[in-house]
Structures are given as structure tokens and as C-alpha cells.
Amino acid sequence: MRKPTIDDILTPKPDVRPRIYAYSIADEAHEGLLKVGQTTRDVKQRIAEQLKTAAIANYTIELDEPGEADDGSIITDHAVRDALKRKGFANPQLEWMRCSLADVKTVLAELRSGQQFTGTHHEDFPPRKEQLEAVEQTYAYYHSRWQQDANAVPRFLWNAKMRFGKTFTSYQLAKKLGAKRVLVLTFKPAVEDAWQTDLESHVDFDGWQYLSRNSGRDPSQIDGDKPVVYFGSFQDLLGRDKAGNIKARNEWLHTINWDLVVFDEYHFGAWRETAKELFEGEDASIAKEAAKTEYANGLDDVNEDLGVMSESETDFLPITTRAYLYLSGTPFKALATGEFIEEQIFNWTYTDEQRAKEQFAAKHPGRRNPYGALPQMRLLTYQMPPEITHIASGGELDEFDLNEFFAANGTGVLAQFKHKDEVQKWLNVIRNSPDAPRSFDSIKTGVVPPWPYSDTRLLPHLQHSFWFLPNVAACHAMANLLEEKHNTFWHDYQVIVAAGASAGIGLDALPPVRDKVGSGFDTKTITLSCGKLTTGVTVKQWSSILMLRNLQSPETYFQAAFRVQSPWSIKNPNGDNPNEEEIIKPVCFVFDFAPTRALRQLSEYGIGLSPGEANPENAVKELVSFLPVLAYDGAKMMQIDAGGILDIAMAGTSATLLARKWESAMLVNVDNDTLRRVLENPEAMAAVERIEGWRALGDNIIETIINKSAKIKEIKDKAKANDGELTPKEKKELTAEEKEFKSKRKLVQEKLIKFATRIPAFMYLTDFRENKLQDVITKLEPDLFHAVTGLTVADFHLLVRLRVFNTERMNEAVFAFRRYEDASLRYTGIESHEGLTHYGLYDTVVAKE
């Protein structure tokens, strides 16, 4: 694939406008008739082309109006003619209607305001190639497990990004399985609409029954011969009454032998972190209410149950089923820890989607591309001038702190930025105002980068943008600043504050945005948010997002970023070719003003999507081939490749920070399931006992920890059965058991971490370039590994397979060490290990330190 240039990346936005037109012909055959059509081109030119063949010149264009409704949807000529026919007007031939111009205008007004009657409609589109592959692969795996063991309950994961079509495809799998009872569970009840709509609108599922708490249908009255889908939340299903019993309204769910259980948005532990990060900018009461709406009541109540989840879902989910299907766009933890093996996973990532779009276009030129409307993302990062960043830079890596820079106080019209003068300068910079501050290098080189609200190639893509700010106060402060009299440039934009109580909770914040955006062609908007509308919503007119807050996880970063990747197109734009599609948004943009942090998120996202990749740099390389990155370093704008992204992402990494990575408790797993696997494996027990200092922990320490955990659970279960109350004796016993349990678990954790800190020393002493944990395991110098770490390579490999070590975190530490080591060697003028002795390399790196 040809590497795109900067001009390719800064693609001009297509000038596409849907139009509804009508014309008459002055002859006897067409008397009293109007031809009603649609086009995205110039109406005069379009009509002239239509009539040129018949050499008709005596026509009059009676109507030429925008083909958009108030809610932003496209009005088609078919909709206009159907509305006229419902009013009783004749349709003697094809697109000709026997009516007056006033009649057409009346219908258009009704369609724009949403007063039309659309009637019933059944979708009949077929599954796409990748959807069929997901179904076939999952179906084959289920049956292979059932052939081996008729009582097996197989599990399968779809690692599929947004807009894969997970609901429709899940139903296709259920249909192929012949499933009659399907249970769909999620943390986010707001996604129910998609599950219900797909089931009730597509002809493939005619006769299927849909149930949920909101459906109002009595489960006892459903037709037992027809398939049924029940949609519910984990919080509701796992919730218990005060006596610790299953809620009465859910008892029937536990009596059914389900054919398929679908876990939608399978993040489990990650959900709690995502919810916290997304809503931390809201006021405490609003954040709590927002999290409730987004994730449903009872989230905290099920945390403990989810935390003890093991390979058997029945540990926390008291139902029976023939198979489980897991759905997630960012299942990094599950992928990295080996929770699912390769044959249990179907992948459909952003990279897969964009590659399919490119390949289809090359293979089928001229045909409508089913992926064509999915925009390609571009990431642009900017190093801001020191005059702006000095007030919010610092910390160990001296990074630009977006949360501090956009810190604000107050609410509503009284909200103001703490660093208002600097924020004003930032506004001037991003529109390249003449009085905007510039870096010395920029002045010296004379280079003006493509600032978002200045460059003519970018400006059209910012007609509708999303600004992601740190908190409610910052959102209100930004709205106030943009409205000040001197900021005349920004007065062209309608500013929407989607933050705080006044914006509404959950999906209630969406209608005001859609109302202001409208069709998106004649309006210009900026939506300000600190968490609302960043999950599960679609505003197709959003074409860019400005990241103006610190985000810790790549899952949250890209969950927000993908809000602007929603497709925006017009199918059959000229009303004469159903296979034609006019793409209004071919690309979308992410703008970030903290380059190091942004590229760190990108690198972690790329690596997280491909945990099996031999070299993590290749995973990032593949991602950026479809997600080009431009970075402005204060002097010039340049495209960054995978190596450059990793170098910048790890900029400022020191030996101290690397040491912390190897001392982190996240490197090891000491949960009960992991310890139980070790205890049940004699070879693994022999291996851990060879770890330095292990015997000092006492005999049977792992067995003791597991027994203590069981005792604690027994006491808590007894309390649940007794209305949640503990006797003084039970409280004392519980405290003692928990104290000893935590103490012994911590001792085991510390010994494993101490072992992990030996691994970098081994890596220093080898000539091999380790990219990931598997490289460390497969060293060709087993004697050296044993001498440095105290374990054999076989011992270590066994403990990794049993997941004693967190594969994902250790891969990050190994790769970070390798990048740091490479940089250290380049600093000394050395580009490889060739010709170095083990101790020569060690001395070289230590000397630099």
C-alpha cells in the first residue's frame, strides 16, 4: 500500500448536499404532472442530463430544495412520492405525480417536521462476509467441543469493534444453532434498543419473541414453540433481596435451560474503571446518577461476585446454558491473560475494517463498497508553545497536563478557567490568530502547521466537533469564554454544553445536541462534554474530537475517539441507482495537544489489539497504516511511523521508571484461581518452592490462603442468610481471618515480584533482542537464565502458562525495557549487540546510567 502523504491525510471534505427537485414539461402528455427526484449534484445539470437524450427543452424547474429533515435524516424522492400517494395523488408512471407544486411543498414540510406516516418496513440485508465468518467459526468451535463432550459448555469471544453489527450477527449465530432460548446480559441497559430493533425489524427473525423488564410482556404467556430472546443487565440478574435470595421477578430465568447466553460488552473489571474515568469530571451526585443510568443500578453490588469469576461462570451466574458468547471491542485483558485460546476468538478490529474497505475498492472498482461509509481516522498531535504550556507542565515526565491547563471553578455563567489567559491563547493558536503565541523554532523555520480551526483542508471537518474536557466546570468555562465579545470567530458555532445536571442524565443529553446539529449541512456546532455521550451514542455529523483531558486507559481514549467514526452517507443519491452511495464523511480526525500521552495511548491500543504478535512494533505499524499520525513538534509537521510513535510514547522513560514496571504488583496474579492451579500441579509447586526465600513463608502457604478465602466466604454467606447481620463473635472471627488471608497473600505476591525483578538483569546479559515475554522464555541460554533468576526456563514457562505472571503487564515491561535499551545503545553509538560480550553490554548501559 502506498504511504499517504501529508496532503493525502489532510483530505478536503466533499461538498455534498442532498436536494429534492420537481420539474414539469409543457406538453399534453405531461399536463398536470410533476417529476419528483433527488440528487446530490447541481439540480440544473442533473435535469439537463436526464432530458438530453429525449431532446426535451420545454421543461421548467418548479422546485429545488434541501433534502434534509429537521432531525438530520435524509429525505428521499421515494418518501415524497409515497407521502403524496397516501394523500390520494396519482402516480401514473415511475417518478411522475399528478399533483401541484403546493402539494409537494406541503409533503416536504411534513417530512421535515416528522409528521409523516412511514408505515411498516422489514429489513432484508444479508450478513457481510466477516459476519458470516464469525458465525461459522463460532458454530464450528461449539460443535467440536460438544463432539468431545456432550455436556461441555463452550465459550467464544468476538473481539469486534463498534459498527461490526454484533447484535444482528449474534442473532444469526442463534439462528444457525437452532437456539430457542437466548439470554443477553450487559452492564449497559442503554444498548437494549439495538438488541430489540434488530430482532423485530429483520425478516430473518420473523416470529421471534423479545422480552426484557421494559417490554411489558409476561414471560409465562410467551409461545413455547417460537424462539425467545431475553435482554437484561448483570446488575438486575445478579442482584439479591435483603435475605440474599434471587429477586422474585427473576426466578423464572433460573429455571430455564438456555441455549445461548450472550455477554455484551465483556469488560467485567474494566467496566468499573471505565465508568469511574468517564464520569470523574462530573459532580459527585451527577456522576453517581450518570453511572446508574449508563450501567444500571446495583453495579457496586455485583463487583465482588465479578471479582471472583473463574473459568466457570456458574461461580457467580446461577443459570444453565449450552454455550456462552462474549462480545467486546476492547477485550485487552481477556486476550492478554490467555482467558481465551486462539481457536476461541474471532477478531474484527479497526484495522480489519479499514483493510476490508481498501481491498473491496481494489477488487470491485465501481461497485458500492459495503465498508465505504466507515471513515478512516487520522490522529494529529500538536506541541504547544512554551508560553502556553509552562503553567501546566511538570511531574516526572514533564508532560503537558491537560487537566491542570483546563482547570476551572464555578458553574454556569460564573464558571471560569484557572488559567484563563493561557486558555485564550490556546484558542488563538488553534485558529492561527495573528496574535497567537508561537514557539521559537516555528518563528525560526517560518513553518505554519495545519491548525484545526485555520487550515482550509481541516476546517470543514470541524463543522461539528466534540471537545472532551476534564470536568463540568471546564465545560461551562469554555462555553463562557467562547461567547465573550472579543471571540468573534467562535460566534459562528452553536456551543452545546453536554455536562452537569442541566444537560440531562445519560441519553437525555442527546436530543439537545441533535436539535442544534439538525441536518448538519447549514449548522456549525461544538459539543462540550466531560463524559456524557462518549459511549453508546451516534451523532453522524461529528467529524472530529479534541482531546482536552487526561485519559489513563486506551480503552477509554478510543471509546471516546470512535464517537466521530460513525458513518455519514447518502444511499442512492440521485434516485436512479440503489447501488450508489455518496460518502459525506470519508475521514474523521482526533486532535490531541499532549503528544506523548496521545501516542502512548495509540501504541498501547495497537499492541493490545494484537497480543499474539511476535514484535509489538509490528502491531503498531499495522494500526498506523490505516490510522495515519501527524505530529507537530513546534517546528514542523511530519508523519510518524510505528517506530517513531513508540519512541515518542516512551519518551522520558528512565531506569527508575523501568524499575517500577518490574516491581509492580500488576505483574503477578495471586487470586484464588491462579493459586489453586499452582497447588493442583506438582511441577508448579516444585517450581515456586525453588524461588529464593519461598520456604521461609512456611509450609503449605498456598493451601492456607485458599482455605482462609473459603472460610471468609462461608462467614459472609452466613451473614447474607441472616439479613446481612454478623454477631460480635462472627465479626471478630471475620476480621482475624481477613487479616491473616491478606497478610499471607501479600507475602506470596512479594516473593513473586522479587523473582520478576531478576528478569531485566538476565535481559541485560543476553545478546538477543527481547520484544515480549515469549522471547524471554525461549532464550537459547538456559544456564544463564537459571544462574540469574534461580529458576529453569521450563519452570518459568510453566508458571507463565498457569498465569502466575500477568502476560499483558509483563509484555509491556519487556518491550519497554527493550526500547529503553535500544535508545541507550544508540546514545553511545552502538546499533546492535553484535560483537559485544555479555558483560561488555552490561557495563555500557550501566555506564550511561
At 789-798, the pLDDT tens digits run 778 888 888 8
Which residues, in sequence order, are CB contacts of 139 under 8 Å at separation 6+? Answer: 173, 176, 177
pLDDT score, position 72? 78
Confidence of residue 656 (pLDDT cuts 50, 70, 90): very low
Which range of residues forms the domain containing residue 23? 19-113
**What is the average per-residue pLDDT within 584-602?**
91
- Domain match, 413 and 547 both: yes
pLDDT score, position 845? 29
Q: How many structural domains comprise the chain?
A: 4
pLDDT score, position 313? 43
For residue 704, the one-letter residue type is: T
Q: How many angstroms separate the CA atoms of 430 and 546, rounded?
A: 11
Hunting for cell 446454558 — which residue is that?
A: 321
Taken in order 674, 258, 295, 299, the sign of the CA dihedral is negative
Q: Is residue 124 part of a domain?
A: no
- Domain match, 333 and 432 both: no
- Using alpha carbons, select from 656, 516, 497 the residue that is nearest to residue 71: 516
Surface-to-core class of residue 51, CB atoms within 10 Å of its CB (0-12 exposed, 13-18 middle, 19+ buried): middle
A 10 A CB-CB count for 94 gives 7
- Domain match, 400 and 314 both: no
- Domain match, 212 and 230 both: yes
Q: Is residue 831 part of a domain?
A: yes
Q: Is residue 730 part of a domain?
A: no
Q: Is residue 739 part of a domain?
A: no
- The enclosing H or E element of 36 equals strand 33-39
Strands of 207-365, DSSP E: 209-212, 228-233, 257-258, 260-264, 320-321, 324-328, 345-348
Q: Is residue 372 part of a domain?
A: no
Q: Which of 299, 332, 348 is where one domain is finished?
A: 348
- Domain match, 430 and 399 both: yes
Q: What CATH number is given to the structural domain containing 262?
A: 3.40.50.300
- Domain match, 680 and 602 both: no
For residue 502, the one-letter residue type is: S
At 50-97, the pLDDT tens digits run 888 777 888 999 999 989 887 778 899 999 999 999 889 999 888 899
Q: How many angstroms separate the CA atoms of 775 and 735, rounded?
A: 44
At 3-48, the pLDDT tens digits run 677 777 787 788 788 999 999 999 988 999 999 999 998 899 889 8
- Domain match, 645 and 668 both: no
- Domain match, 101 and 213 both: no
- Domain match, 252 and 160 both: yes
- Lowest-pLDDT choice from 136-150, 174-188, 210-224: 210-224
Q: How many angstroms separate the CA atoms of 163 and 158, rounded?
A: 13
Q: Which of 61, 80, 113 is where one domain is finished?
A: 113
Q: How many angstroms separate the CA atoms of 802 and 338, rounded?
A: 9
Confidence of residue 175 (pLDDT cuts 50, 70, 90): very high
- Domain match, 762 and 682 both: yes
Q: Is residue 525 part of a domain?
A: no
Residue 767 in grid coordinates: 545478546
Which range among 145-159, 208-222, 329-343 has the greatest average pLDDT? 145-159
**What is the average per-residue pLDDT within 603-616?**
71
pLDDT score, position 826? 46
Hunting for cell 447474607 — which residue is that?
A: 720
Q: Is residue 9 part of a domain?
A: no
Residue 614 has pLDDT above 60, yes or no: no
DSSP assigned state of 504: -
Q: Is residue 532 part of a domain?
A: no
pLDDT score, position 847? 33
Residue 275 in grid coordinates: 465508568
Which residues, in sequence order, are CB contacts of 737 under 8 Å at separation 6+? Answer: 708, 711, 712, 715
For residue 483, the one-letter residue type is: E
Model's pTM, two decimal places? Answer: 0.72
At 667-696, the pLDDT tens digits run 788 888 888 888 888 898 888 888 888 888
**Structural contact between residues 10 and 460, judged by C-beta atoms closer than 8 angstroms:** no
Surface-to-core class of residue 26, CB atoms within 10 Å of its CB (0-12 exposed, 13-18 middle, 19+ buried): exposed
Residue 163 has pLDDT above 70, yes or no: yes
- Domain match, 157 and 58 both: no
- Domain match, 645 and 667 both: no
Q: Which of 113, 146, 181 is where one domain is finished?
A: 113
Taken in order 335, 336, 338, 342, the sign of the CA dihedral is positive
